[in-house]
Every structure is written in structure tokens, then in C-alpha cells.
Structure 1
Amino acid sequence: MNKQFLQSLLLLSSFSLFVSCDETTTNETQPNVETGFVVGIEAATGTDVLITVDTITSGTISPIKQGIEQPAWMSFYAAGNMVLTTGYTSDNILTGYEFAGENAQLVATGQLVTDHGIFAATNVNENEFLAVGTPREGFEDRVIYSIDKPSVSISERFLTKIDERKALDLVAFPTGILQRESKVYLSYYLMGSGAVVPAFATPLSDSARIAVYNYPSMEFDKYIKDDRTSDIGNYTAKTALQEDENGDIYTFSTSSNATGFYPTPTKPSGFLRIKSGATAFDQDYFFNFEEKSGGMKINNAVYAGNGKMVVRTVTDDSQLWGTYGPNTETPVCSITIADLNAQTVTKVEDVPLHGGEWGIAHLVKDGKVYLNISDSKGGYIYEIDPETATAKKGAKIDGHYAKGIFSLNKN
């Protein structure tokens, strides 16, 4: 009897211990991560302001008596849990911003000065950010800056020509940079140096080109080229090179006069791929977006996940630089969803024709993509659902338009 009682007691104790451990595991609470939205806008006065807001899906985002005024016309870059701002042509100061302090206020955490304006950049990890500085004409060296994010300082400068053709008076202008494993991929187009061929003229744009560098040494490795489409990205692009969940890199080519390429490339606008583990273009993959969309061209594109690209498209390619007008009275841009796997294009009917930007202000969060949509009447942030090709109008911009949309952790 005592033996049976002891066995029962041991069994009950074991069961209780099992339940206790299981409850500890399943009931363990994860720390709450509070996030805040940060929006860079061009105010009605023309001044750029960085503003913290609680929501981007409703209400009005206003710079009046709030926000951090910027020193010049700025570009805004996502850098992990930081926002980096850089001057366009009038100010080479780069400033880092993040939430800090007991009240989690957005503050400047450091500044540095670059030799040239920044025209391509990528976040590498929590400590490093790569940025490419370049003159707007001439044969000077381009500079790849390795920036230490915690101290907001330049760790190393790497000088490069990227590519140049002095006999043709052509120099390289960067459109995108991306680090993957032991390589850095830098997309560019060849334009006039300004001496004989006018600066920003693009007489040799019927190929997609990338300069490949070894990482972290940044020694030049090789050029890769594809003749099925045109130059990758565009002037001030921020998403010319994007990596998906599988480690594949996708690039977009505009072949677009309205996006700044003149003479207009003859190759179709589309997407190329560099597969995970490879360092050259996938010869079995080309998504002819121009053909599949019925004649539209890519202006900019944002990878949303699950094989979907949210694409700002060019509906009228007749005017040179015609997409660089966020507050235009003659908008030519629409929004479509490109399925990279099925190679289909679906128009998002809920978004009106609108102007393009210098790059594309965007945020990818919880399966949705948030974009600036603006014209001569002002701007809104729209929420795009890439799975259903639908959209909702969100917060109104009290000013000209949103230049950057970010979500940062506060703790």
C-alpha cells in the first residue's frame, strides 16, 4: 500500500513539474517594443522638416510648431533603427536621428561631413551604413563611405571611378548599392561628364550595369552587364537593388525619358535578378514589365515581400524628367503590383494619377506598403495592400509632400 502511494505521489509530482515547465514556457511574455513613425516632409515654405507622429493612416501631419527643421533640401535614408539625412546639392552634412532619452524623443545623435553629395546608400547592419558620394559632373573619384552608425562617423573612405569612358566623355553616376555576403553591388549609369557630352545625357543606356566589389575590403571585383534591358535605377533612386526573403537580388530598369534617360533607351523596362549564391545576372530570368503592363514603364519600385513589387509606373513618357514633380499639375504616375514569380501586373485602381519624386518615399510594415501620393493639390500617405492590389488614403501632408516615411523602435 505504501509502495503504491509512493509511486502515485512521484507520478503526480512529475506531472506537476511538467505542467509547471510548460506553463512557464507558453506564458513567458515577450518585451513590448514601442515604435514611432517619423516622416520627413517638404513644408509649404519649401523647408524640409523631420516630424514624429503617432499614426500615418489618418489625420494631418503638420510641421507647424513641431519637428526638426533641416538645414537644406535633404534626402532621407532608412538606416535600421535610425534615420539619416543628407544634403542634396547645397549641403554635404549627414545627420543621424533616433529615439533616445526617458521620453523617447527624436534627437540628432551625430553629424559628419562628406566630400560629395550622397546619391546611393544602403544599411549593412546595426553598426555600418554604406553611402556613395559623387560629383554631378567631371572625372573626379567617386567615394564609398563606410559609416559607423553608433558614433555617426566615417570609418573608411574607398575611392573608385566605378566606370568611366574618357574617350566617349562618359562617367558613372551611382543609382544603388547593396551588400550581400562577401560582395557589394553598385548599380550605375553612364552619363556625360559635362566637357563634351552634357552632364546627365545618357547616350549609352541600352544595358544594365553593376560594378561588383569585394566586402569588406571594397576592392573592385568585376563588372556585370545585361543587354535585355537598360540602365538600372534612376537619378536619386533608393530602391534600385533589393533583396528578397530568399537572398535573391532584384533590380529595376526604367528605360524612361520621363525618368531622366535621354536619348530614351530602346530596351524594354523590366526586372532582372541575381540569384542567391550567384554574382551575375540570372540568364533564365527577365520580367518584361513594359510588355506585361501594356506599355507602361517602371519609375520606381518597392519590394513588399512574398514576391510582390509595388511599382510606381510611368503612363506618359513624352516629357524629359517628367516624373520629377511631386506637386505637378500634369501627373503621369500610377501604382501597380508586379508579381515577380508569375510575371503579372495589376493596377491599383484606388490610387489616382500623381507626381513622381526624387526616389520614392516608402515604408514596408506588416505586409503593407506606405507611399507618398501627391500632386499640385498636396499630398497624402497611402496604404497599399500588395496581395489585393488595393489602397487606402491615409494621413494628409500639411505641406508639399512626404520625402521619407519611417518606423523606429523607441526602446
Structure 2
Amino acid sequence: MRKVQLLMPALAAAIAIAGSSCSKSDKNVNPDDLVNPDNSTFVIAVTAEGSSSEATDYVLQSKDLMTGVITPVGQGIEQKSYRMYEVVGKTLLSITYQGTNVVPGYALNDKGILSKKNGEFSILRLHARGVVDQDRMFGMFCPRDGSAEATFYEINASSMSVARQAKINVFQTANNWKEWAYFNDVRMVGGKVFAPFFQIKNSGFDTQYADSAYLAIFSYPELKLEKVIKDERTGTLGRYASNDVLSITESGDVYTYSAAGAIAAGSVPSAKPSGILRIKNGTTDFDKDYFFNIETATGGYKLCGMKYIGGGKALAQIFSFKDHVAGDKWTNRDCRLAIIDLAAKTITNVTDVPLHTGGGLQYGCVIDKGLAYLQVQNADGIYIYKVDLATAKGTKGAKVQGKAVMGLFKMTK
């Protein structure tokens, strides 16, 4: 069983002495060390070093991601089990990625220190989730044992409650009654619920339907399945539990990606190319006039992941090798970073960021004043990198001491 702790580090003294950040208790924390003049702070969820079966997670605060060492050392609020994190408005949700779990929430107090909110709620593990607004998040639990129903949750993070839950028939959604839908993102789009999925026929994620993209559209709030749209120009959408499959632009257009056959990203083999599709604002079908073939544009390389960063652009991790073999599965190895202009169909490689393990974009990417902050992990360890989005140039920042970064956010009081 894992442990999760909430840690509020006193950065100034610790960095000056040891280049690290830690604290014993709220009483020892100087908010000036953690909170920027605009009342913002960075929040980082780190899995500490440990055995393969046991490790400790911490949530740390810092106003600076570019200097020193961010390390999970100190005391804090302990929780149980492996977790994922999401910020909804001003609330950080700590979500157990196991069976039934109790979800606590955290917010910045009047001093800017992350503190536990009143109230908790119980849900099943979430394989798909999407922030709706400053109060609400959608989430979905997907069975992979042949059970017929996924569970949909509407969560109110402000009140720390489940506003409603409903059941969705995964066989009806897949519409072939041989395999079932496995959702990997869920968003509110134009008053409807959009939920991309791939199909599986067993718990090993095998499928006979890897050569098309599928997205289910449900009415809201009834959650009646209105239609499933399909596109045969690329393969299945997104990746397992990625929660970054849909990019909704300021104009209301929706872009979605396929890693099609990228075994290193967990995909099954596919004859279709990795690419990006579009659903134009006000429509509920894939745009027949738009397809961005990533493999053609890059000379044969596949997407690992993609996250919308605003202004019609997305930050993407693209594999640096063409041949994906069975031994690559789930490794997410050797990705390079790029900026994709979705409408213009252009790709600009980010300079000064080394090859790294992909998939990290799903655990948080902070966009702030023309800059992107994200984790970069490879054989040299884990570092925070800052990317100037105008110049596509990266800058190496703080080292993260630990096994993994499970969340990276910016919060305000």
C-alpha cells in the first residue's frame, strides 16, 4: 500500500542551505517562500523513491520551478494508496487510482498554504475525467472484465460532493456487441457530453477494431447516447486514461489525436497513420475536410500525447523512432517535444529539451504568460522544463527528486 502526504515546503531557507524544499508543519512555513505576489503557487505531486510495490506520494508547493531541488522530504497530511490529481477551480482533488476510494480536496488558505477542505466523497477509480467549469468535473469508471456498464460521475469540487452518477452501457456504445467501449476522456462540448473511446475484448486491451477513431456523444443531463461518430482515416483516439484526448479551442472547435499503432504508448498495432481530427464548432461529426497526418508531416513518426495550450496550438510528445515492437509496449520511451499549430497543420520542434519519457503531459502542464512548465524524465532523472511558446525554446529548471511526477498545477487563493 502506498502513502500520500501533503507537504508544504519552506523553500527559501532550504534552497539556500541544501537546494531542496521541505517543511515540518504549517507553523514553520513562511508564505512568502511559497506564494507569488499575484497570490499564485505551483503545486507538484511527487512519488518518492521506494520499492516497486511501495512508495510515498507527496504534494509540494513552490513559487519557483526553475531553481534548486524539489524533494519530498518532511511531514504532512498522510493518505492511502496510489493517486492521481486534478485541479477544479480553486480545489485540488486527490483521486485514488484503485477500487472504491474516498477523495479529499485541498485549497489555498488565506495565507496561501494548501490545506484540506471540509468534506470528502466516494467514487470508483476514474479512467476518464474532464474539468467542466470552476466547480464541476466529469469522471468515468470503465470496466474491463466484461461488465456491461461504465459509471459516469458529475463531481462538484466546490462542495466536495458527487452531484450525480449514472450508468452507461459500454456494449451499446461500441455498437458491435462483441467488444466494449473503454472511455479515456470526457468533456462538455456545446451542451453535450463528448467521450472518445477505444474498444477492447478482454482485460489485456486486445481488439479487432484498431483501425478507426470512435467518439460517443451523449445528451446532457439525460446522458442518453445520441450517436457514435467514426472516422477511418486514423486509428483509435488517445491512450489509456490519458484525459488529454480532446482539445477544445477558444472558438469552440474540438481537435482530437490518435497514436495509431504506437505500441510504446500502449496502442495495439494498426494499419492507419497517427493523426489529428477535428469537430467544428456547432457540429457533431468529424470534419471531412480536415485531417492532419502526423506521420506524413514528420517523415514517419507517431504521436505519444498532446495537450492544448491555447491560441489554436497544442504541446505534443512525438516518438523519435518509427518501428514500434511488442517489447516497447507502455514504455513511452524516447519522445521529443513539439508545438503543433492545429489549424495551420504545422509542427515546430522545441529546442533544448532532451528526449524523454512520454505520457507526462497527462499529469499536468502549466501554461502561464506565454510559457509552458512540464516535467521531463529520462535516464538523467526528472527535471522541470520551461518552454517559451513563442520561440519554441526550452530551459532546464529544478530537479525533482523522486520516481515520478503525478501532477503539476498552478493554483491561486
TM > 0.5? yes
What TM-score, normalized to structure 1? 0.84
Deviation per CA, 1:63-99, whole angstroms, max 9, x where unpaired?
Answer: 1005544421211223222222212235633222211
Contact 2:275–2:294, Cα closer than 8 Å, also in 1: yes
Does residue 405 in structure 1 map to residue 411 in structure 2?
Answer: no
- Counterpart in 1 of 2:389? 386
Structure of higher CA gyration radius: 1
Whether contact under 8 Å (1:323, 1:356) holds in the other structure is: no
Say which is worse superposed, 159-168 or 248-257, in terms of deviation. 159-168
Separation in 1, partners of 2:162, 2:327? 33
What is the CA–CA distance in structure 1 between the aligned matches of 2:146 and 2:403, rounded to whole Å? 33
Distance 2:91 2:326 in 1: 35
Q: Calculate the TM-score normalised by the size of structure 2.
A: 0.84
Q: Retained in 1: the 8 A contact 2:47–2:403?
A: yes
Does structure 1 residue 112 correspond to structure 2 residue 117? no
Q: Following the alignment from structure 2 to structure 1, what is the Cα–Cα distance between the partners of residues 366 and 212?
A: 30
User: CA shift at 1:376, angstroms?
Assistant: 3.3
| Counterpart amino acid of residue 370 in structure 1 | Y
Deviations 1:190-246 (A, max 9, x none): 01234xxxx311321111111101122222211111111111110021210111111
Question: Which residue does 2:106 correspond to in 1?
Answer: 97
2:46–2:406 Cα contact (<8 Å) kept = yes
Unmatched tracts of structure 2, length 5 or more? 1-36
Q: Which residue of 2 aligns with 1:78?
A: 87
Describe the SS at the equivalent of 2:127: strand
Structure 1, residues 98-121: CA drift from partner, whole Å, max 9, x if none?
A: 112x3232122232211x310111
Of 136, 149, 152, which aligns to 2:157?
149
Match of 1:223, SS state, is: strand
Pair 312,321 (structure 1): closer, same or farther in 2 beyond 3 Å? farther
The correspondence for 1:347, drawn from 349, 364, 367, is 349
Aligned partner of residue 355 in structure 1, secondary structure: coil
Please tell me the root mean square deviation across aligned C-alpha atoms, in Å. 2.1
- The equivalent residue for 2:138 is 130
Matches within 5 A, 1:22-101: 33-45=38-50, 46-66=55-75, 68-89=77-98, 92-100=101-109
Q: Matched residues, percent identical?
A: 32
SS of residue matched to 1:235: coil
Alpha-carbon distance in structure 2 between the residues aligned to 1:244 and 1:96: 28
Q: 1:318 aligns with which of 312, 324, 327?
A: 324
Partner residue, 2:20: none
Residues 177 and 334 (structure 1), Cα distance of their counterparts in 2 relative to 1, 3 Å cut: same
Q: CA deviation at 1:35?
A: 0.8
Cα contact 1:117–1:135 (8 A) shared by 2: no
Instruction: Give the whole-Å Cα distance in 1 for the aligned partners of 2:381 and 2:75.
Output: 19
Aligned residues, how many?
Answer: 368
Alignment of 1:181 onto 2:190 = yes
**Deviation for aligned residue 1:325:** 4.5
On the 8 A contact 2:274/2:302 being kept in 1, the answer is yes
Q: Deviations over 1:130-188 (max 9, x none)?
A: 11112233224101101122221111111002445697641211111110221110011
Q: 1:319 to 1:104 in 2, by over 3 A?
A: same
Q: Secondary structure at the match of 1:176?
A: coil
Q: Which runs of 5+ in 1 are unaligned?
A: 1-31
- The aligned residue for residue 336 of structure 1 is 338
